[in-house]
A and B are shown apart, each in its own frame.
Chain A
């Protein structure tokens, strides 16, 4: 029997045992593992950002803020800004394309919905590099898209599509679109349908009902999608390299270069942490908007 207590599931009502020795065998192994292999590495990186690289690799243990200041150098700042712009474009495109898709899926009958969702997730399970290379096949001068365009008589000469920022945007969009659709769908599907009915009943036309009720309430889901798209798009280095031909450098490429070519690990760490800071910012925005939506500007 489902519990009909307001807002609670049976499990949520269960009393939490006080954390004592009994919790150790459960919490300890995983927590220790994660501390060693996640918290400490991240902490190390943070630590590294305040030191300089030694002549032959390694570290010189003098505290310095140079790495952080270096971020503002025109060369690097340019890359950072370019990455932000490209990632923003990808995110916006993902929103524009993903929202109607999520909305359509949310309106399907349960069986079709499952099929639709699996279909969205499936491309994910094709090897990401192979999918990337498939775009090369498509966009190459001798590639399929050009062949079709010429075959259809739309162009005379092959259009140079590969190795451009636009190609990178397409590649990134392709990669992260499902990650935008899923949280959007989840948030749309959770909406109480009687809210929309109420809006219509009060005289709002279907478009108005969508604009004033559905859209604002799906905003948290949209922002979650942005979390999954924006920063990953910025930190991706494979696509700018393979599809962009290395001509457009993004932050991800920079980090990779610092670690393998320039051997300036501290600076690489700084860049990576910058990305993480951006991520945290986006998460904070999402939480704030989500709360403001249902609780109002003032704390009640």
Chain B
């Protein structure tokens, strides 16, 4: 961070009864950034959001906006506004009055209020709906009202709680573009909470991936995809082939496959997992390849096809993506080669079973079970704390 961050979260810890929702989370959010808090349900992202908004109080830690201590302020005094997942539009007020509510509470004069409300409604495209009631609007329209209502106050930070989850697929795609455009045009900092990694990846400048109350990685979408910091991030973001093995000087040595070339910062001999994205898996003629397998299934998705290949010695099939339709059919023998691979340190065997895989994630993470994999106790990485 070259300039002072807009929002600084330091060592925030939140607890519900016996459950620790957030374990000492620290992160910074820059001004004018589109930021995402991403993670499966229960990871603590909503808790963090609500703590920033003021609806929950963390047990310890600091949250600062522009250097000011946010935790000391009651929610209605914070320079932070939220767009609720359910929109929370006031059913007894018209769109216009909903949007103007926050300004009214501030004591803004009537003429200024009217002009600001009209301005914002034009920005989100709602001018013709000013006198309608929320019950008379569609889902997408309601969302715009919720947005307008928050934006009109020009908060330092706009928090969005699962903004697109209530919309159907078509509307969702166009809303993603809308939100990005808005953020840019209005010049606010957006913080979006979502469990949908596709959403986060397409909208955000930077993403914080959370899991069980901990920050797994904070980076741009590209970096998260190409260089995941942990196994969880690798499998949560996009689809990945994961191969467990041991780090070597040139890459990772995976039992059943051999060496996978990659650059990494681990010491030789460390437990490691090679991460290969399906588009980096190349298919070749079986006869001339060192790694061979049989095609189990092919899925045609329009612009690309995913091919599932079973390789003897590997427990799960390898996924490969090729452009367009493919001639390859079930039962064909193919050779497999890897292009670029990333490497993550391997966690304890017990935790590497994907127990918090999000149902939405299209990650069909392939685990490689080596024949002589040792049980949990031998893993060099520290045991993952299992939180309730």
Beta-carbon contact of A205 and B105 below 8 Å: yes
| Complex contacts, B258 vs chain A, CB 8 Å | none
Task: Answer whether residue B132 sits at the interface, using C-beta atoms and an 8 A cutoff.
Answer: yes
Which of the residues A198, A293, A300 comes within 8 Å of B92, measured between beta carbons? A293
Beta-carbon contact of B101 and A202 below 8 Å: yes
Q: How distant is the Cα of A201 from the Cα of B78 in the complex, in angstroms? A: 8
Of B82-90, B171-179, B293-301, the one touching chain A: B82-90
Which residues of B4-52 are within 8 A (CB) of A? none
Beta-carbon contact of A202 and B136 below 8 Å: no
Q: How distant is the Cα of A202 from the Cα of B93 in the complex, in angstroms? A: 15
Beta-carbon contact of A200 and B75 below 8 Å: yes
Task: Answer whether residue B264 sits at the interface, using C-beta atoms and an 8 A cutoff.
Answer: no
Task: Answer whether residue B380 sits at the interface, using C-beta atoms and an 8 A cutoff.
Answer: no
Beta-carbon contact of A202 and B81 below 8 Å: yes
| Complex contacts, A206 vs chain B, CB 8 Å | 76
| Complex contacts, B132 vs chain A, CB 8 Å | 296, 300
Beta-carbon contact of B76 and A194 below 8 Å: no
| Complex contacts, A209 vs chain B, CB 8 Å | 76
Q: How distant is the Cα of A195 from the Cα of B55 in the complex, in angstroms? A: 13
| Complex contacts, A293 vs chain B, CB 8 Å | 91-92
Beta-carbon contact of A201 and B105 below 8 Å: no
Interface of A is mostly: helix
Beta-carbon contact of B153 and A198 below 8 Å: no
Q: Which residue of chain B lies nearest to A205 when distances are taken between CB atoms in the complex?
A: B76
Additional A-B contact list (6), CB under 8 Å, known A203-B102, A213-B90, A300-B136: A198-B149, A202-B150, A203-B77, A205-B105, A294-B133, A295-B133
Interface size range of chain A in the complex: 20 to 34
Beta-carbon contact of B131 and A201 below 8 Å: no
Task: Answer whether residue B326 sits at the interface, using C-beta atoms and an 8 A cutoff.
Answer: no
Beta-carbon contact of B136 and A204 below 8 Å: no
Q: Which A residues fall within an 8 A CB radius of B?
A: 192, 194-195, 197-206, 208-209, 212-213, 216-217, 293-296, 298, 300
| Complex contacts, B84 vs chain A, CB 8 Å | 194, 197-198
| Complex contacts, A217 vs chain B, CB 8 Å | 91-92
Task: Answer whether residue B141 sits at the interface, using C-beta atoms and an 8 A cutoff.
Answer: no
Q: How far is the CB of B351 from chain A (nearest CB, A)?
A: 30
Cβ proximity bits B126-153 to A, threshold 8 Å, 1 near / 0 not = 0000011101100000000000011001
Task: Answer whether residue B53 sits at the interface, using C-beta atoms and an 8 A cutoff.
Answer: yes
Q: Which residue of chain B lies nearest to A204 when distances are taken between CB atoms in the complex?
A: B105
Question: Would you list the 8 A-B pairs with minimal beta carbon distance, nearest first?
Answer: A202-B102, A198-B88, A300-B136, A203-B105, A194-B88, A204-B105, A296-B133, A293-B92
Q: How distant is the Cα of A285 from the Cα of B133 in the complex, in angstroms? A: 21
Q: How distant is the Cα of A205 from the Cα of B106 in the complex, in angstroms? A: 10
Can you report 29 A-B residue pairs in the complex whose CB atoms are below 8 A from each other? A192-B86, A194-B86, A197-B75, A197-B88, A198-B82, A199-B101, A200-B75, A201-B53, A201-B55, A201-B76, A201-B82, A202-B76, A202-B81, A202-B102, A202-B153, A204-B102, A205-B76, A206-B76, A212-B101, A213-B90, A217-B91, A217-B92, A294-B91, A295-B136, A296-B94, A296-B131, A296-B132, A296-B133, A300-B135
